[in-house]
Structure 1
Amino acid sequence: MSEFKDWFNSIPFFTRYWLAGTLAFSLIGRFGLLNYSYFILDFYLFFNKFQIWRPITALFFYPITPGTGFHFLINCYFLYNYSQRLETSIFAGKPADYFYMLLFNWLCCVIIGFLANVMVLMDPMVLSVLYVWCQLNKDIIVSFWFGSRFKAMYLPWVLLAFNLVISGGGVMELLGIMVGHLSFFLLFKYPQEFGGPAYLTPPAFIKRLFPDTRYVGGFGTAPQVRVPTDGIPRGMFGGHNWGRGQTLGGN
């Protein structure tokens, strides 16, 4: 038990509680402790019955069934892996900046959810974070099923194609890519390459709520290839290495 506690406490703050909330709400719905209908995003109930918690619970809840359980575990793996990598690399020491990016992505997913009648937001939210990491690490080689290896920049599209072929889905992945691309553009491309304002700079009250833990040389520095460290825990859901990064030419 102490080993699990140590592992849990070693996860960066926002990744830790995003993952914990996802597991908690999904298992509550799975075992019927509360009716899952209270967790999903519902336009009518939100605006007419003032059930204002639904955009939050729709982020954390995922319907676990015999047909969706494996997909849920893969989503949890991607959440844990890529959110942690972002939080401990480009956003290291800047919790307010990472929180503000997550908040922006979540608001985009909620708006899309209302417009497109998407009732749970885990898929697009996780893909949006994965997309940002992949754009910041374009040339890192990642591994997927059957030993296939390719640059990280293609991983979101491989996931989209994979779900399109296997389950006839792909819409949630496409929405996540759209949100992630908008977030990446406003965070990095627009202020750096086009000289525009940094729209996703967190306001002062969020900075006070989540103060920087160390000085870093400015937010929104030019994206560079970043090699994942070996110290990132990878053992939560077994030994598969979907999306594990390697440097070019790595074995």
Structure 2
Amino acid sequence: MSTPAEYYRSLPPVSKTYGVACLMTSAAYYLQLYSAKNIALDYGEVFKRLQVWRLITNFFFLGPFSVPFAIRLIMIAKYGVSLERGPFDKRTADYVWMFIFGAFSLLVIAAVPYFWYPFMGISLVFMIAYIWSREFPNARINIYGVVSLKGFYLPWALLALDLIFGYPIKPDIAGMIAGHLYYFLTVLHPLSGGKFRLKTPLWVHKIVAYWGEGAQINAPVQSNPLAGIVFKGRSHRLGGTQTSTNEQTKGNASASASASALQREGNGIAFRGKSYRLNG
């Protein structure tokens, strides 16, 4: 059985980063390091006071420590990780683009007063669950050990549970809309003969390459070779024929001394003999 540290290291980079960011945001809120209203999505504050960070920070707050928070974190660990290891395996940039496209779509949806919610991270997690249900429609899921369903019905089951427990369902509906929009543009529309237009932009590939985590099949940019490297210097293969730096220094000094001796003996001429031009 793996330890928590081994489980953490085994997680794929994007889901791990987002889950840890959400956990740290709620932990900081629990420690009263900030007020939730300062990171909530408020278009009035964004446009009047230019508090543009609200467009990003609201996606990292899944609520205070509670049962709903734990369920949403488990959804990231289960369905987000399953997507990243399955359909998005070796497609880290595409998976990052899915998050970015989903967040942008939710910001547009939240502009409609009916769907507005101060923290759209709940909708983003629900979007992940919706896309998972479309990618794994025949997978068997178990709801609280009571109901067994096909994966296709997962978002509807979660929506029904939130309705029964009295949680807001508007964020769930917004997440389903954003998830279906992404799945339609990337899967359903191309399969029906439509032109695929939602390609991952080059700048997303560059971010992933600079990050140095994950992999991307046929990436248009090379990964940053210095990502994650703390110390830089000359490297040598173990057991090879490379000489050490000290040996090279001694060799260079010996060669310089020999050349000086030849110059003194030959009045400045180090080598004698006929010369020929190559290919002459």
Report TM bin, short chain: 0.7 to 0.9
**Residue 71 (1) aligns with residue 73 (2):** no
Structure 1 residues 179 and 215 mapped into 2: Cα distance closer, same or farther (>3 Å)? Answer: closer
Unaligned runs of 5+ in 2: 219-280
Aligned residue identity for 1:179: A
Task: Please tell me the root mean square deviation across aligned C-alpha atoms, in Å.
Answer: 1.9
Equivalent position SS for 1:210: helix
Structure 1 residues 93 and 73 mapped into 2: Cα distance closer, same or farther (>3 Å)? Answer: same
**Quick one: which of 159, 171, 196 aligns to 2:194?**
196
Regions of 4+ moved over 3 Å: 2-6
TM-score, scaled to structure 2: 0.71
Percent identity (aligned) = 24
Instruction: Indicate the residue corresponding to 2:92 in structure 1.
Output: 95
CA contact (8 A) 1:30 1:63 kept: no
Report how many residues are paired. Answer: 211
Instruction: Indicate the residue corresponding to 1:226 in structure 2.
Output: none
Distance of 1:143 and 1:39 partners within structure 2:
35
Instruction: Indicate the residue corresponding to 2:45 in structure 1.
Output: 45
Distance of 2:145 and 2:204 partners within structure 1:
44
TM-score, scaled to structure 1: 0.78
Instruction: Indicate the residue corresponding to 1:29 in structure 2.
Output: 29
Instruction: Indicate the residue corresponding to 2:132 in structure 1.
Output: 133
Distance of 1:137 and 1:39 partners within structure 2:
34
Distance of 1:168 and 1:121 partners within structure 2:
14
Instruction: Indicate the residue corresponding to 1:8 in structure 2.
Output: 8
Equivalent position SS for 1:24: helix
Q: What does residue range 1-251 of structure 1 map to in structure 2 within 5 Å?
A: 3-64=3-64, 69-116=66-113, 117-167=116-166, 169-193=168-192, 195-211=193-209, 213=215, 215=217
1:48: Cα distance to partner?
1.0
CA contact (8 A) 1:22 1:60 kept: yes
Larger Rg: 2
Aligned residue identity for 2:127: S
1:184: Cα distance to partner?
0.7
Unaligned runs of 5+ in 1: 217-251
1:199: Cα distance to partner?
2.5
CA contact (8 A) 2:92 2:216 kept: no
Instruction: Indicate the residue corresponding to 1:234 in structure 2.
Output: none
Instruction: Indicate the residue corresponding to 2:234 in structure 1.
Output: none
